[in-house]
Amino acid sequence: MTEVKKEVLEEVKEETCCTNQETTCKCEEQQETVNSQTDLLNRIEELQKENDKLKNEYAKAYADTENTRKRLMSDFELNKKYRIQSFALDILPVIDNLERSLKGPHENVDENYIKGIEMIYHQLIHALSKEGVEEVDTSGEFDANFHQALMVEKVEGVASNQVIEVLQKGYKLKDRILRAAMVKVSE
């Protein structure tokens, strides 16, 4: 029994049976009153426990909902940030082919045709850069996070582990690598 319950019972006993000991009938009625008050206090205690349990369940449900909301927002932000990734991966071979065509021999080709290919190439590069697609830096030392070494060659006057030739450009989308640069590295 809780302290409140005990105090209430003591007060009721003092007021009833202890002051009127002459009539037994009155004492029995008063005992019934004490019993009903005890039952009422027990019911109040049960309801308080149930209320605490429901508050706890509500808090858990609220926390689960908040965690789900945060996870969904995080997923949404990631999808928004990298939405162009699959398109960029599909368009990179097109850019490679445009670069090859611009590097090739142009003896019997109309100058306007070459200028048109250059314009298309620059528009594609500009459109991709607006979405966060950038070329991987290949100058300097070899970095396995951004470069893929296809060949190793000993070159006089060049320090070891330096990129000496780019065989295929690499690209990244914001902070994620789309395609590593394929390079030749000094030995």
Q: Which residue did the predictor score with more confidence, 155 or 21?
A: 155
* pLDDT level of residue 182 (50, 70, 90 thresholds): very high
pLDDT level of residue 51 (50, 70, 90 thresholds) = very high
Q: Considering only residues 27 and 52, tell me which one the structure prediction assigns the higher pLDDT.
A: 52
Quick one: average pLDDT of 53-71?
96
Mean pLDDT in residue range 147-176 = 90
Q: Per-residue DSSP letters for 100-137?
A: HHHHS--TTS-HHHHHHHHHHHHHHHHHHHHTTEEEPP
Q: Report pLDDT for 109.
A: 82
* Contact present, 164 and 133 (Cβ < 8 Å): no
Q: What pLDDT shows up at residue 83? A: 87
- Report how far apart, in Å, the C-alpha atoms of 28 and of each of 4, 11, 13, 114 are: 23, 16, 12, 113
Grade residue 18 by pLDDT with cuts at 50, 70 and 90. Answer: very low
Q: What does pTM read for this prediction?
A: 0.61
**The pLDDT value given to residue 30:** 76
Contacting residues for 187 by C-beta, under 8 A, at least 6 apart? 152, 153, 154, 155, 160
Span 140-158, average pLDDT = 89
Q: Which of 84, 66, 63 minimizes the C-alpha distance to 74?
A: 66
The pLDDT of 20-31, averaged and rounded, is 64
Q: What is the pLDDT of residue 42?
A: 92
In the chain, the N- to C-terminal Cα span, in Å, equals 84
d(CA 6, CA 13): 11
Report percent pLDDT > 70 for the chain.
86
- Position 128 scores a pLDDT of 94
Q: What is the mean pLDDT of the chain?
A: 86
Residues in the chain: 187
Measured at the CA of 111, the angle between CA 105 and CA 114, to 5 degrees, comes to 65
Please report which confidence band the pLDDT of residue 158 belongs to, taking 50, 70 and 90 as the band edges.
confident
Query: CATH second-level architecture of 85-186?
Result: Roll (2.30)
Contact assessment for residue 146 and residue 170, using Cβ atoms and an 8 Å cutoff: yes
Question: Average pLDDT for residues 35-55, to the nearest whole number?
Answer: 92
